Amino acid sequence: MSDDAPTWPAELYEMLRRHNIRQVCHVPDAGHAELIDRCEADNEINVTTLTSEEEGVGLLAGAWLGGQRGVLLMQSSGVGNTINALALPNICKMPFVTIVSMRGEWGEFVPWQVPMGQATPAVLEAMGLIVYRADKPEEAADSVDAAFKIAYDSGKSVAVLLSQKLIGAKDFRAK
C-alpha cells in the first residue's frame, strides 16, 4: 500500500457518505478518532458526543423517525451499557448500525477490558443483532457497507466489530 492510499478509517468515512449517514454519535474513543474527526469536519454530518453508549440507541431511533440515517461508534467496553436500549430498534424493526472498536483481545494489556471484549459478539447476538467482524484493513469498508445495506434494506440491527488486531493494541506502559 502506498503512503497516499486511503486508510481504512477514511474508507469507513466514505462508506458513511455513500449510505447518506447524517447522524454519528459516539463516546470518545481512540479507535474511532480518525473517523470521528472526519465526520466532525463534514458540515452534512451531525456528530453528537454521548455521556453513555445507550443514549446513542435512542438518538438513532429518533433520527430514523425523523427521516435520517445514523451510526453509533463505541468501544466494546461500552456494549454492556446498551443492552436494555438495544431492545428498541429490535422490537420496533428500526434499522440500527453500530461500529464497535474492540478491546480485550489481540495484545490487550488492561485486564478489565478482557471480559467484555470476549463477551461482545455473544452479547450482541443475544440481543438480536447481526454481527460482522473486520480483522484486516481491506475488510473494514466492505463490512460496514454490508451492515448498512442489511440494516436499511430490512430493518435489522447490525454491529461491525473492528478487531483489536485491525485498530492496533494500545500499550500505555512505561518503556
- pLDDT per residue, tens digit, the chain (175 aa), is 445 656 999 999 999 999 999 999 999 998 999 999 999 999 999 999 999 999 999 999 999 999 999 999 999 999 999 999 999 999 999 999 999 999 988 888 888 888 899 999 999 999 999 999 999 999 999 999 999 999 999 999 999 999 999 987 766 655 5
DSSP letter (8 states) at residue 81: G
Instruction: Give the pTM.
Output: 0.93
- The amino acid at residue 123 is V
Domains and CATH numbers, the chain: 8-43+51-167 (3.40.50.970)
Which cell goes with 35? 473517523
Distance CA 168, CA 129 (A): 25
Tell me how crowded residue 7 is: count the other CB atoms within 10 A of its CB.
13
Distance CA 14, CA 83 (A): 29
Degrees (nearest 5) of the Cα angle 40, 50, 171? 80
Alpha helices in the chain (DSSP H): 8-18, 33-40, 54-65, 87-92, 114-126, 137-154, 164-167
